[in-house]
Structure 1
Amino acid sequence: MTSNFIDYVKINLKSGNGGKGFTHFRREKFVDKGGPDGGDGGRGGHIILRGNKQLWTLIHLKYQKHFKAESGVTGGKSKSTGRQGEDIIIDVPLGTIARNAETNERIAEIIEDGQEIILVPGGMGGLGNHHFKTSTKQAPEYSQPGIPGTEIWCILELKLLADVGLVGFPNAGKSTLLSSISAAKPEIGDYPFTTLVPNLGVVKYRDFQSFVMADIPGIIEGASEGKGLGLRFLRHIERNANLLFLIASDEAKPLDVYKTLVKELKAFNPELLDKNRILGFSKSDLIDEKTKQKIIKKIPEGMPYVFFSAVTQTGLNELKDIIWENINKPEEEL
C-alpha cells in the first residue's frame, strides 16, 4: 500500500529574473529634445512558502520537483515600471522546515496558518536611463539589465505540530488509544509496526476545549542508530511540547521499558528530555492491583502517571485531565 504521508521532499526552485531597465527619451510634438524617461524593469517573481493548516503531508510536492517563477517585464517609456513577475506560492503543512540542500542551512520554518516566507527572492529590476541623468550628462543612453533570479535545490521536512506526542514501543497501544479518545482512525493490529506513518488526532476535552495528539510510529531499542523505523519518525517528537510515554502494563519490567525509551530519545536529541513527561500504562485491565502497586513504587518521584485501558474505557478521562494539566502548566513550572 502506498502511503499518503510524505514528510520529506527535495525540490528545485528558480525565482524570476528582474526585468531590464528601459532606455528611452521623451519625444512629443512640442518637446523637441525631451530628457531620458526610460522606466525601471519589474522585479522577478519570488518563490514563497505558505502555511496551510488544512494540509498534513507533503505528498502534493512528491511529483512536482521544479518550480520556476515568472521574470519581470522590461520598463517602458514615461518612466513606467515594468510589471513584476508573478510569485509562486507553495502551500505546506504547519511544522514544515525548509533547508538549502547544498549547505543544509535552515531557510524557513512554517508554524502558523497563513504565514508566508520568501524562500527564493526574485531578481531586482534594472534601473531605466532616467536615473542616470546628471548635470554633465543630460542624455544617458544606457540603463541597467535586471538581476538574474536565483536557483536552489531545497529540502522540505515536516515535523508534526501537536500538544502531546505518544512515545512507546511497537504494540504498546498508541493507535488504540488515539482511536479511542479522538476521531482519528489509525490502522490497528496485534503486531509490531502496525503504525507506519504518524497520525494526528484532535481530542475533545471539557467545556468544548481540545488538544492535538500525535501517534508516532513505535520506537525500538537502537532507533537512534537507525534500527527499525529508525530516525525517520523521531524528528516528529521534537515538535511536541509534551510526551506521553506509553507502556503496556503487562510488560515484564515496565520501568525498564521507560528507561530504554528515554535513552533512545537522549541519543537522538538530548533536548527532548526537557519536555514535559507523562507516564501512561496501557492495557491496565490485564493486571491486578498488586502488580499495579509494584509498578507505582518504581515510578520516578513527581512524575505524573495514569493507568488506563482503551478497551474497557477506564482511566481515559483521568488521562485527559493529566495531559490537559501538563499542556497548560504555567511557564515558571516548566
Structure 2
Amino acid sequence: MSKTLKDLPNIEELHARLHFGKLSIENRRALEHLRNLKRLTLEASNYFGDELCRLSRLEYLEIGSHGFDAAALTECCITMGDLRHLNMGHKIEGLSTDHFITIAEECAQLERLAFGIRNLDTNVEYEFVCRLPKLQHLFVWINGAVRPEFLVGLINKVAQPKPIESLILVGSRLPLEQVNLVCQITSLKELDISCEATAIQDLLNLRNVKYLHLTMPEITNDQLKELILNLPQLILLNVRSCRLITEQFVASILELLPHIENRMRKKIKIHLKGSDINWSQIDHKLLQRKKAVVEIINETLEEPILIRQELTMNQSN
C-alpha cells in the first residue's frame, strides 16, 4: 500500500479504506506523500491521524476512524487553511470546548461540517462552530436534546451574509421547545429532524425550505397536507414513521393537483415510509400520469441533499 501511494504523488482525490494496525510505521505515514491531495475520504481502524496535518491543500476531509485523536484534528484545522468540507464522524473521543474553538478560529473557509455529540460531556460548548463565517451546512449526530446555545447561535446566523442553509439532526427526537428553536432558523433550505410531538405551526415558519425530512409519528393526513400547501418552496417531503397517514392523504393530494400546479409551479416529491397506506388500493396508473406534478413514493430517502452536493469552484483560487 505504501509503495502504491508513494507512486501517486499528484493525485487530488482519494477514498481509502485502510487497516493501520497491521502496517509498519513507514506505511502508516504513506498518506503524507500525497501533498497535492484536495479531497480525502478515509475509513481506517487504529489510526490516530498524526500524519494528516501534512496534507495542507485539502479542501474536503471525511474521517471514519476508531481511535482518531482529537489533538490530531486540531493540527489538521491549523494547517489546512483551504478546508471547506469537514466530516469528523461521531467516533472521535476526547473532544473539548477548546477543540471547537480551534475549528471556529482556524477553519475560516469551512462551508460544511459534520460531527457527533453523543460522546461529548454536557459542558462541551460545541456552539462555537456557529461563529464560522462561511458555514452553511451542518450534520450532527445527536443523543437527546442539544445545547440551546447551539440552536440560538444558528438563529443568530440568519441575518449574516452566509446563513445556515441545511441542518441535519440524526439520532433521537427533539422535545417540542427545541423544535420551536430549530424552526426559527428561517434561512434553512433543508432540514432533517425527529420530533417528540407534532409541531406543524412551527414548521410553517420555514418559508425557504425546499427539502424537509421528518420523523413525526403522530402527524395526520390534514397536517401533512397543510405543510405541502403552505411551504411555498417545498419540492421534497420525506416523512418516516408516519403511522397515521392513510390512502385518504393520497386521494386528497390528487384532488388538489390543479391548485398545487397553479400555485407552486413545480413538482413535489413525497416519500412516505411507515405509513398506514394500503398501497394495493392506490390508483398507480393515475399516480403515474400525474408524476410531472407530484410523485408519491413508498420508501424513505436515506441521504440529505445539499451537504452531499459537489463543492463549487473555490473563488479564492
Q: How high is the TM-score relative to the length of structure 1?
A: 0.27
- Higher relative contact order (Cα pairs below 8 Å, separated by 6+ residues): 1
TM-score, normalized by length of structure 2? 0.28
